[in-house]
Amino acid sequence: MTDARHIGFVGSRRKIAALKSKLRDEGVADQTLDRIKGPAGLDLGAIAPEEIALSILAELLMIRRSGHRQTNIHHI
């Protein structure tokens, strides 16, 4: 597994559940599987591929910026 800050799976809830089940059967620990977020992206109701891509980018921006507002609030 990776030590990446975020692991997103682009696919349906059913597909991520099937993948996690298969990995669990192969001996991957639940703690490791819990790090995988699926489906990737913010729940914006996205359907079209470009909407899904936008929701994923929005999620990555949110993760990247988490904690920054507290330290930068004095610059406003």
> For 47-60, how does the pLDDT look when each residue is reduced to its tens digit (9 = 90+)?
999 999 999 999 99
Q: Is the peptide bond before 39 cis (omega within 30 degrees of 0)?
A: yes
Contact present, 56 and 39 (Cβ < 8 Å): no
Average pLDDT over all residues of the chain: 87
Report pTM. Answer: 0.71
Q: Residue 69's pLDDT band (boundaries 50, 70, 90)?
A: low
- In this structure, which amino acid lies at residue 39? P
Question: What percent of the chain is modeled with pLDDT above 90?
Answer: 75
Q: Give CA separation, 33 vs 6, 11, 14, 38, in Å.
A: 12, 15, 15, 11
